[in-house]
Amino acid sequence: MNNLFYSRRTILFFIILCVLFLSEFARSVQSAADSRSRIVLLKSQVHIAALKSGHDHYDISRQRRHQETVEALQNCALASQPDLIPFLDKRQREGRIQSYDPIWIINGFLVVADTSVYAELRAHPAVSAIYPDSEVSLIFSTESDSCAPESRSVEPGLEQIRVPLLWQDQITGRGRIVCHIDAGVDWQHPALMSKWRGLNGGTTDASWFDPAFHTEYPTEPGIANGHGTHTMGILCGCDSATGDTVGVAVGAQWISAGNFFHATGSTGQVSDCILSFQWAIDPDGDPETVRDAPDVISNSWGFSEESDDSFDACSHFFNDVIDAVETAGTVVIFAAGNRGANGLTFPANRADSETSCFAVGALTTTGGTTATMSSRGPSQCDASDSLRIKPEVSARGIFVRSCVPGGGYDEKSGTSQAAPYVAGVVALLRQINPDATVDEIKQTLLDSAADIEQPGNDNNSGYGRVDAYAAALLMGQRITGRVVLSDSEDHSRVHITVDGVNRQSESDRDGNYRLYGLPADTLLVQASKLGYSFGSQVVILSPGHDAADIDFTLFPTGSPPNSLTAITSGVGVQIDWHAPPQFVSGYHIYRRPAYQPDFAPLIAVDYTVTSHTDSDAVPGVPYDYMATALYNFPQGESSPSDTARAVAGPLAQTPWSTDLDSDDAHFQIQLTRVGQDGGWWEWGEPTVGPGSAYSPPYLWGTDLDGSYANDSDQRLLTPFIDLSQTENPIIAFYHWYDFGSDSYTFDGGNISVSSDGGHLWRVAEPDSGYPAQEIRGLGFQPGFHGRSEQWRGCVIPLDEYAGQVIQIRFRVGTNSFLNFSGWYIDQIFIGNRNDVAVENDAQTGSDTPILRQNYPNPFNPSTIFRFFIPGDAARLPVSFHIYDVTGRMTKSLINNQLLSSGEHTICWETDSSSPRRNSGVYIYRLQIGDRFSISRKMVLLR
């Protein structure tokens, strides 16, 4: 009867516990449902118009425009946002704010809170205005041909805007970056994959942005019907294997933000657009660099004006976001919309000036008539009649053939197809003049457009059909000429530059070249190619007049350096070479990360130097090196030497292990989304979660005294590990985790491996697999989820990386809803599988003896052993012996002793043992009576 009573009482207890949990969860869900997302703007804002005016007055470079704009925006936010954060933190602790995120592209916060909070925010002295988080929708294509259309080398829409004429002059968008904010991209499409910057000199984080799912690589959901892949194809698509060319800027690289289809239907939120533009203005997070920033952003979406009653398209705060992006030097293009005579979508209908928001209309297949569905002007905004005329220019938008997910092609129609034609032309103009301002480029597009239907600017096609070739001619004067290589019939790839002017071109096979966009001035034109003498000429250009027949003849120079070698060193890479037989005046050394296509100058040295230590190389990154010799007779630079590759040091050698007690093992923390309301990776002694380390006192954990942060992407990186001598590599570790209920895979963690210096990462699968196959916070990657309850062992095979240098990443991704204790990691080993014993998924229980991995391992001269004896084994004799690989016992540390239950620690000093032990693998064994026998391996190094 008593047993029955206690059984019923236990069942009742768990029922009450479940009800309480479900009630709390329901309250959380209801709170989220009652919450509203808003954009809260602060009174302190950067005066963008004044900043732009100063840039124009001093005619500064694009790099300076970019840096000064981004730094001004960020500094404004840093100075003023702390005034509001205490209020937000307090309301969040009260449960009235679900989440808040600071933004700096306009100074404010994205807030999800109970409606009552916004009344308090409006009264706060730091707040200027609060706006609804309005819906935004893609401008869907109106027609699609599901059959695969005929493959053509060049699409008619490209010929209509005279793009091939610029390709003939090597103006392809090379060196430029195009971007779109759309539904995503099939990045593995053969016409797009080689052009994604994430594979060509950029990181994945600076080449793809997903504000909803935080996926690491570009993707496009099926519900998007290939919209984003199709528009990106028009921007830059070209299949080098087949010659199938559908894009304008075929030499450009692309990046993208995937903004739509993360909820239901085809809508996104304006907050996602704000975050996407904020990412795109400075993708790598470094205001001093502009090489990562796009030259143009194409947009084929608009606001859903019916989504709230307070919508005012003409004075909407989102205009400030666009102005900030363009002040930093990136051109923003919008599709006009597919509403025909019913007007344009916002922001395309903005009418502050002819260049403040560039709207693109759609033309029929002939390129001479406005398509019926193309949105027409005038703008609804209050402005002069001339400014209300919309769109600005037009391009083909009917039956446009381009890429679709899966590697194929089809035809779609709409202004979504017309806008990327114009955006692609912007990239071509930026190749001509990398420092051309946004206004200069837009005005050039207007002035060069070809009239159709009626002369001048009209509300059907704007100024007419965009004309890439005519626009290029308006960028400035031209210089044309021919270069001859005296010993070759192929005169291509001679580099033509202008001293002091940021212009460049290359010769074709016949040696012909053209330089566009030059100022009227006295210029020094230079011709160079590795292996040949330099050439230069002074050219005088007057306004409105080009210069022709500026010809060069280049002669071979001497030999390149011999026997170039590159070797990993403790401070980077050691480079050595031998002098060529001829007399040289010096050497140039060039370097590139192995995943980048182009070499860049590293250092110039005089003729007495034949070695260099590259101490600026990033550890773990593989680099290619080449060297050239400088000659005075004839003056020039030799052809390059053979390349040499090495991975920059210092590198950790295997076997590598740590119990994290003496130091943090030189791990690095990387935060791509910082989040809030919680912590991130820390090294130390935990007070929550498992309560103590697996091998006390220290470990790595997502928060040592609380819960991890909401809406965060936290990455913990190991040192670079050299697996060149490891045949069967693994990583083994013990971990404890709590990511919440198994039913809701919002949060989780996984392990990835990079073999190219942290550039690209691949998820690594444990021997026992991941408990969840799709975790939202990890961009639907597999990972650990739920609760481990106790310490567990984990072994991950690394066989595919044998012989390489790798870095391992522990990644935690969370959403903005709930947070828990997180992930705790201890006792890490990287090396040969046979040199360590970690029970996969092993639980630390109280009824089973445990023999932990020795530390350090490998070791010399001493190591520490830890083991656990359960209570029911305390009366049994305990032995602890060490054996060599032949099975011969070499040392007895404990022999048939009675030990108390609990944790025990012993130390082995090999130098005090006789005879002296040799290097190699040893086995240590814990024997408890006749009931338990546990063995592990260790490595002694001499």
pLDDT, tens digit, 9 for 90 and up, residues 482-512? 999 999 999 999 999 999 999 999 999 999 9
**Residue 539 and residue 622 share a domain:** no
Structure token pair of residue 187 = 């990045």
Are residues 360 and 391 in contact, defined by beta-carbon separation less than 8 angstroms? yes
**Residue 815 and residue 672 share a domain:** yes
Structural domain contains residue 489: yes
Q: What is the pLDDT of residues 43-67, one digit of tens each?
A: 999 999 999 999 999 999 999 999 9
SS3 665: coil
Are residues 118 and 98 in contact, defined by beta-carbon separation less than 8 angstroms? no
Strand partners, 497: 504, 526
CA 867 – CA 538 distance, rounded (Å): 81
CA 898 – CA 877 distance, rounded (Å): 5
Structure token pair of residue 878 = 């305990």
- Give me the helices (H) in 449-572, please: 468-474
Range of the domain at 871: 862-940
- Which residues neighbour 863 within 8 Å (Cβ) at sequence distance 6 or greater? 854, 855, 856, 857, 907, 908, 938
Are residues 317 and 41 in contact, defined by beta-carbon separation less than 8 angstroms? yes
Structural domain contains residue 365: yes
Structural domain contains residue 853: no
Strand partners, 806: 721
- Which residues neighbour 608 within 8 Å (Cβ) at sequence distance 6 or greater? none
Structural domain contains residue 533: yes
CA 840 – CA 170 distance, rounded (Å): 57
Specify the number of domains making up the chain: 6
Structural domain contains residue 854: no
Specify the pLDDT at position 2: 42
**Residue 144 and residue 109 share a domain:** no
Q: Write the burial class of residue 664 (CB in 10 Å: 0-12 exposed, 13-18 middle, 19+ buried).
A: middle
User: Of 97, 86, 69, 92, whose CA–CA distance to 126 is shortest?
Assistant: 86
Specify the pLDDT at position 742: 60
For 251-269, letters b (16+ CB in 10 Å) and e give bbbbbbbbbbbbeeebbbb
**Residue 347 and residue 241 share a domain:** yes
**Residue 691 and residue 625 share a domain:** no
CA 414 – CA 142 distance, rounded (Å): 6
SS3 49: helix
Are residues 728 and 834 in contact, defined by beta-carbon separation less than 8 angstroms? yes
**Residue 814 and residue 898 share a domain:** no
Give me the CATH number covering residue 690.
Answer: 2.60.120.200
Specify the pLDDT at position 747: 92
Are residues 657 and 830 in contact, defined by beta-carbon separation less than 8 angstroms? yes
Specify the pLDDT at position 31: 42
User: Of 732, 610, 764, 726, whose CA–CA distance to 659 is shortest?
Assistant: 732
Are residues 269 and 136 in contact, defined by beta-carbon separation less than 8 angstroms? yes
- Give me the helices (H) in 410-467, please: 415-432, 438-448
CA 281 – CA 329 distance, rounded (Å): 9
CA 333 – CA 422 distance, rounded (Å): 8
Give me the CATH number covering residue 875.
Answer: 2.60.40.4070
Specify the pLDDT at position 28: 41
Q: How many CB atoms lie within 10 A of CB 724?
A: 14
Structure token pair of residue 263 = 């909820």
pLDDT beneath 70, residues of the chain: 1-35, 143-152, 261-266, 304-313, 673-679, 742-744, 816-817, 837-847, 911-915, 942
Q: Which of 626, 647, 668 is the last residue of a domain?
A: 647
| Backbone torsions φ then ψ of 474, nearest 5 degrees | -80, -10
Give me the CATH number covering residue 607.
Answer: 2.60.40.10
Specify the pLDDT at position 845: 46
Q: Which of 132, 149, 181 is the last residue of a domain?
A: 132
Structural domain contains residue 818: yes
Give me the CATH number covering residue 504.
Answer: 2.60.40.1120
What amino acid is encoded at 794 in this protein?
A: C
Specify the pLDDT at position 837: 60
**Residue 667 and residue 624 share a domain:** no
User: Of 521, 358, 480, 504, whose CA–CA distance to 430 is shortest?
Assistant: 504
Q: pTM higher than 0.75 for the full model?
A: yes
**Residue 377 and residue 344 share a domain:** yes
**Residue 584 and residue 676 share a domain:** no
Q: Which of 615, 647, 679 is the last residue of a domain?
A: 647
- Give me the helices (H) in 480-528, please: none
Structural domain contains residue 658: yes
Structural domain contains residue 852: no
User: Of 656, 651, 697, whose CA–CA distance to 856 is shortest?
Assistant: 656
Greatest C-alpha distance within the chain: 109
**Residue 807 and residue 673 share a domain:** yes
Are residues 676 and 99 in contact, defined by beta-carbon separation less than 8 angstroms? yes
**Residue 428 and residue 340 share a domain:** yes
**Residue 586 and residue 540 share a domain:** no
Specify the pLDDT at position 885: 78
